[in-house]
Amino acid sequence: MFINAGNLKTIFIAFKAAFQGGLTQAQSQYLKIATVVPSSTGSEEYGWLGNFPGMREWVGDRVINGVKAHGYTIKNKPFELTVSVPRAAIEDDQYGIFAPMMQEMGRSTAAHPDELVFGLLKSGINQPCYDGQYFFDTDHPVTNADGTVGSVPNVDSGGSGPYWYLLDTSRALKPVIYQDRKAANFVSKTAETDDNVFDRAEYVYGVDARRNVGYGFWQMAYASNQPLDEAHLTAAYTAMREQKGDNGRPLGIRPNLLVVRPSMKIAADKLVNATTLANGADNVMKGIVNTIDSEWLV
């Protein structure tokens, strides 16, 4: 092929089409557990996460629920994925063999939010949330009805197995925040004067984005490394349902999603989907929650 601007543009269009096709191949699940928050700056402040507001009887003046000074900030990070194509391959009309690579780049780009979101959920046992405690912790501070401060757990780490997670994803703010600053953008460097072409005789194609993830309300998530069975799922479900906020007010948490690693998917489905147990008795856990599994939890 004779290389000129027109031919390079045609190849770019073909590679971008392959990239776009790859975007549809990843079966993304992050929207099931994360709320997407658009971002227009380098970082976003979520000081209001300290409030879980509720209605009260109007006696006297209104009580204004102010923003607590937790100072929880999610800073956007840049991400990129770049590949090169030898100039000789273009000259020899072999650029078609690189289309699968561009398609895989698209698939990887589409899977990136899942990697971030489920990776953050997995890290919840040692990463802090808005109150300064680990997202999954044994002593989140909550003000009791009498004004004293108590400790509330949202983790059971007394087992030895892999962690599984029970979530309430029914609210406007899900347990994880996915902050989107700049969507993935497919670009190229193919000019004769570009260093990659001039020095190394290769064309470069890449994608870049700006984004990050953070934690929402810890009250809407529970982690356990105990055996995934009726007793332990009941304990986690009950702990979340009976969750109270400041001043002893019930929060109305309703767990609806069980999140596990792939090796636990079949057991999780049996636990909450089977009509009867192995002994023929009715399965009282049937339909209590939905299940999903993610490779990013491994």
Q: Write down how long the chain is.
A: 298
Bridging pattern class, strands 164-167 and 43-45 = unpaired
pLDDT tens, 239-271? 999 999 888 889 999 999 999 999 999 999 999
Of 124, 119, 114, the C-alpha closest to 220 is 124
Residues 219/213, Cβ–Cβ less than 8 Å:
no
Axis crossing angle, helix 5-23 with helix 99-122, rounded to the nearest 10: 40
**Strand, coil or helix: 222:** strand
Residue given tokens 């073909």 in the structure block: 14
Residue 54 confidence (pLDDT): 58
- Averaged over 39-45, what is the pLDDT? 93
Residues 20/106, Cβ–Cβ less than 8 Å:
yes
Residue 69 confidence (pLDDT): 45
Provide the token pair at 78: 């840049």
C-alpha to C-alpha distance for 286 and 234, rounded to whole angstroms: 12
Q: CA distances (Å), 226 to each of 94, 160, 260, in order?
A: 54, 7, 12
Residue 53 confidence (pLDDT): 60
- Averaged over 166-192, what is the pLDDT? 95
Confidence tier at 67 by pLDDT (50, 70, 90): very low
Confidence tier at 55 by pLDDT (50, 70, 90): low
pLDDT tens, 187-215? 999 999 999 999 999 999 999 999 999 99
Residues 106/22, Cβ–Cβ less than 8 Å:
yes
Confidence tier at 61 by pLDDT (50, 70, 90): low
Helix locations, 24-86, DSSP H: none
| Per-residue pLDDT at 114 exceeds 90 | yes
Q: How far is CA 13 from the centre of its chain?
A: 31
CB burial string 76-89: b at 16+ within 10 A, e below: beebebebbbebeb
Q: Where are the domains of the chain?
A: 5-53+66-297
Q: Supply the pTM of this predicted model.
A: 0.90
Residues 202/190, Cβ–Cβ less than 8 Å:
no
| Per-residue pLDDT at 36 exceeds 90 | yes
> 47 — phi, psi (to 5°)?
-65, -25
C-alpha to C-alpha distance for 207 and 12, rounded to whole angstroms: 13
